[in-house]
Amino acid sequence: MLGQLHDVDLQLLRLFVSVVEAGGFSAAQGELGLSQSSISQQMARLETRLGYRLCSRGKGGFSVTPKGEQLLIAIRSLFQSIETFRHQSNGVAGRLIGEVRLGLSEAVDQSVLQRVAEAIRRFRERDESVRIELISAMPGEMERLLLQQRLDLAIGYFSLAQSAFDYRELFRETQHLYCAAGHPLFTDEAPDDAALQACDRVDHPYRFLRTDEPFQGKVCSARSEQVEGALAFILSGKHVGYLPSHYARQWQDRGLLRPVREGELSFEVAFHLARHRAQVPGDAQMAFEEDLLSSFGRSGWH
């Protein structure tokens, strides 16, 4: 009986199948490139390994025994499984597998979402079987998740102070100072500095953004980390605050928001693709990084 299967056993099993399909030892000589005596010796060796006869050869001609018929079915099933395994293993060699976890800042412009969607489209056209997870979070939360290696990549406006991260700038976003209908500054005239300093502003708890804001009013009784929260304070008509221009546009078009000293008090925020430099990226992550950078018209890292 066969214990473990070795390469020589597979060769003998293939020889048996060839003999059966040819219709006998003599007929199989040309296909196998072996003499009849060599084929007979190898068949005897296989039968010895198995412990039973596979075929009869004599005056009545060549025939397969009942046990040989059963073995033939098993051999063909085995070879089919081997071929399936070969195809699958070759497919895995070039296929991207695993998971990619991407953090994305809230309230980004539609053009940014389109570029992320373009990166996903490019990636899905690869030979891949990858689960992609998108997580919308605030910059501080994304930095925490990156440090914990619970995110592979993140797109946001970061402090750039984390020595553990690699950063690649993707795009810039313009922020204006806004007021709303009902606020004293909601007029056609540009307010002077004294009128501005009297305004109650919305505080953003990002020290790396706050220092870039041209308007540094001293009166501040409102605080919001989220863009939606800042908008609510501003729409009350009691506060001024910074908003992304693309986010405020629909409210401005409806006559509910107005930029204050636009240009002079505006500033730009750089959005970066960040990754933990100690985290060894897999093939799927590297491919997705490449597609993201390409979709934003970038290549490589600093």
- pLDDT over threshold 60, residue 127: yes
Angstrom distance (rounded) from CA 161 to CA 170: 17
- pLDDT over threshold 80, residue 156: yes
DSSP string, 3-36: -S--HHHHHHHHHHHHHHHHTSHHHHHHHHT--H
Q: Which pLDDT score, from 0 to 100, does residue 2 have?
A: 64
7-93 under CATH 1.10.10.10, yes or no: yes
Q: Which pLDDT score, from 0 to 100, does residue 5 have?
A: 72
- pLDDT over threshold 80, residue 187: yes
Task: Decide: residue 254, CB within 10 A, 0-12 exposed, 13-18 middle, 19+ buried.
Answer: exposed
Same fold, 96-170+270-295 and 172-269: yes
Structure tokens at 229: 């929260």
Structure tokens at 131: 């689960």
Q: Which pLDDT score, from 0 to 100, does residue 208 have?
A: 47
**Which residues make Cβ contacts (< 8 Å) with residue 24, sequence separation at least 6?**
57, 61, 62
Question: What pLDDT, in 10s, does the model give residues 188-207?
Answer: 888 999 999 999 999 876 64
Of all residues in the chain, what percent are helix, strand and coil, respectively (each to 5)?
Answer: 45, 25, 35
What's the topology of domain 172-269? D-Maltodextrin-Binding Protein; domain 2 (3.40.190)
Element (H, E) at 100: strand 96-104
Where are the chain's structural domains? 7-93, 96-170+270-295, 172-269
What's the topology of domain 96-170+270-295? D-Maltodextrin-Binding Protein; domain 2 (3.40.190)
Question: What pLDDT, in 10s, does the model give residues 250-268?
Answer: 999 999 999 999 999 999 9
Tokens 């597998």 locate to 97
